[in-house]
Amino acid sequence: MKQFLLAPSILSADFARLGEDTAKALAAGGDVVHFDVMDNHYVPNLTMGPMVLKALRDYGITAPIDVHLMVKPVDALIPAFAKAGASYITFHPEASEHVDRTLQLIKEHGCKAGLVFNPATPLSYLDYVMDKLDIILLMSVNPGFGGQSFIPGTLDKLRQARRLIDQSGYNIRLEVDGGVKIDNIGQIAAAGADMFVAGSAIFGHPDYKKVIDEMRSELEK
Ligand code: DX5
Ligand code: ZN
């Protein structure tokens, strides 16, 4: 298993050329496509659904696709995203009536499952479901928009989540999402993250490979 995964967030890609821009970020060294789903209800913004994900698969994107559901309710969309080609599906526990059931539903549809924690959401949601998780995603901004600044308190929360994962003995990725840049990714990794979402840092730069290479060299330090 690769030690660190970089997940370009296509929320900041060129939506008019989404297939091409996604392929470009992968060719530049991205490992996983981060796919942000917003419903203008759970978060104040509106993005993409399963049809767009399927279009990326049809275009020829074969890399894992990490679907970050910022929707409420959650369950009704899971079969459609799994069918469209999602690899991972993560959701916010406070947006689901039955967290355990939603996790099971994701697994039953053949995808890896994860919980997402907003900056003010307590990690206690993990208490009884560690055995069902493939990913824990800590938001380092409030969800809804790309291009926001990393909230420094996330570092402590990452250290706590890392401890919980290590104590559990399960093989769970610790993902971080929001404001990840070349100049803070080293610190974020040192706090325990091993999967990094980056939207504006990659797509907002003319040379995706340069950004990804520099992020990797920070991770190797
Ligand atoms: C925000 C999304 C993020 C977003 C991150 O709600 O979940 O995935 O694309 O964007 P940056 O990397 O620009 O903070
Ligand atoms: Zn996201």
| Domains delineated in the chain | 5-220 (3.20.20.70)
Distance CA 24, CA 38 (A): 24
pLDDT of residue 4: 98
| Mean pLDDT, 10 residues at a time, the chain of 221 residues | 92 98 98 98 98 98 98 98 98 98 98 98 97 98 98 98 98 98 98 98 98 97 87
14 has catalytic annotation: no
Whether a cis peptide bond, with omega within 30° of 0, leads into 73 is yes
Distance CA 47, CA 11 (A): 8
Distance CA 70, CA 210 (A): 30
Which of 31, 36, 100, 156 is an active site residue?
36
pLDDT of residue 1: 67
Q: Whats the size of the chain, residue-wise?
A: 221
Tell which one of 39, 69, 116, 200 to mutate to probe ligand 1, the residue whose CB is within 8 A of the most ligand atoms. 200
**Residue whose pair of structure tokens reads 């990840």 in the numeric block:** 180
Task: Tell me the longest C-alpha to C-alpha distance in the chain.
Answer: 45
Ligand 1 centroid distance, CA of 47 (Å): 12
75 has catalytic annotation: no
Q: Which two tokens mark 138?
A: 């800590």
Query: Which residues contact ligand 1 via a Cβ below 6 A?
Result: 9, 11-12, 34, 36, 68, 141, 143-148, 177-180, 197-201
Residue type, 216: R
Q: Is this complex's ipTM strictly greater than 0.90?
A: yes
Ligand 1 centroid distance, CA of 33 (Å): 12
User: Pick from 53, 17, 51, 23: which is nearest to 35 by CA?
Assistant: 53
Residue 14, marked binder: no
Distance CA 214, CA 221 (A): 11
Distance from the Cα of residue 23 to its chain's centroid: 18
Is residue 128 classed exposed, middle or buried when 0-12, 13-18 and 19+ CB atoms within 10 A define those classes? Answer: exposed
- The answer to pTM > 0.90 is yes
